[in-house]
């Protein structure tokens, strides 16, 4: 259950952090699975349009490309560079659940989407344009989680990812006052 943000200050701050992450990234971390459920982590250079749809242009030979085609869904993450992070354990990040579709090569939609990539990456992507073993994917987000510090985790959702709410109804991290984590002794497997 998501509660809407109550204070204007929190909403403005979360909105600013979301916009900053969405305008200053060059690549996304991709989490995909194949049709047997085997996971794969990868990355891809990406660009975003005004509706927060993401576009990636990746080799059809890549494992994540095959996974995107097989399942039509993925999770992507934009994360702050660890060399500039104030807190390594609370790096600013935006994780989004996305529906994936392939854009037909040289269609009107393909040309429009590729222009978005060219505007962002200029000559870096131009040399790949005519490679026929590359596919252009549309990654359309449905919702996600924005984190920008300890105790600052928010759910983002809705058209254009404009709605922001708390992740949990009762916020904050839980503490064990005895100094150790219950149910997970050192050396014990978590699975």
Q: Which residues contact 179 (CB under 8 A, 6 or more apart)?
A: none
- pLDDT at position 1 is 47
pLDDT digits (tens, 9 = 90+) for 17-47: 999 999 999 999 999 999 999 999 999 999 9
> Is 152 within a domain?
yes
3-state SS assignment for residue 187? coil
Q: Which domain holds residue 115?
A: 3-166
CATH number at residue 79: 2.30.110.10
Q: Which residues contact 163 (CB under 8 A, 6 or more apart)?
A: 4, 156, 157
Sign of CA dihedral 148, 158, 55, 145: positive
- pLDDT at position 127 is 83
> Is 100 within a domain?
yes
DSSP state of 69: H
> Is 190 within a domain?
no
- Spatial distance between the Cα atoms of 95 and 81, rounded to a whole number of angstroms: 15
pLDDT digits (tens, 9 = 90+) for 91-145: 999 999 999 999 998 899 999 999 999 999 988 888 888 888 999 999 999 999 9
Give the dihedral of Cα atoms 163, 169, 172, 178; nearest 10 deg.
Answer: -160
Domains of the chain: total: 1
Structure tokens that stand for 77 in this block: 């993450």
> Is 126 within a domain?
yes
3-state SS assignment for residue 63? helix
CB 93 within 8 A of CB 80: yes
Average pLDDT of the segment spanning 59-67? 95
- Spatial distance between the Cα atoms of 113 and 116, rounded to a whole number of angstroms: 5
pTM of the predicted model over 0.85 = no
- pLDDT at position 103 is 96
> Is 17 within a domain?
yes
> Is 176 within a domain?
no
- Spatial distance between the Cα atoms of 14 and 12, rounded to a whole number of angstroms: 6
> Is 146 within a domain?
yes
pLDDT digits (tens, 9 = 90+) for 130-182: 888 999 999 999 999 999 988 889 999 988 888 888 886 454 444 455 555 55
Instruction: Select from 103, 34, 107 the least CA-distant residue to 73.
Output: 34
Sign of CA dihedral 128, 130, 131, 133: positive
> Is 15 within a domain?
yes
């Amino acid at each position: 259950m998501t509660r809407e943000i109550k204070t204007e200050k929190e909403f403005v701050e979360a909105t600013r952090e979301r916009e900053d992450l969405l305008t200053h990234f060059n690549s996304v971390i991709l989490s995909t699975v194949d049709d047997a459920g085997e996971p794969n982590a990868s990355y891809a250079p990406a660009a975003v349009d005004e509706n927060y749809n993401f576009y990636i242009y990746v080799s059809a030979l890549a494992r994540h490309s095959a996974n995107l085609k097989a399942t039509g869904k993925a999770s992507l993450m934009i994360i702050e560079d660890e060399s500039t992070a104030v807190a390594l354990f609370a790096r600013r990040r935006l994780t989004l659940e996305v529906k994936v579709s392939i854009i037909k090569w040289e269609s009107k939609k393909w040309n429009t989407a590729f222009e978005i990539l060219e505007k962002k990456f200029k000559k870096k992507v131009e040399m790949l344009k005519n490679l026929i073993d590359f596919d252009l994917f549309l990654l359309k987000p449905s919702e996600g989680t924005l984190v920008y510090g300890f105790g600052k985790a928010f759910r983002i959702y809705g058209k254009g990812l404009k709605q922001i709410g708390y992740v949990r109804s009762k916020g904050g991290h839980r503490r064990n006052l005895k100094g150790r984590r219950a149910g997970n002794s050192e050396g014990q497997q978590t699975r």
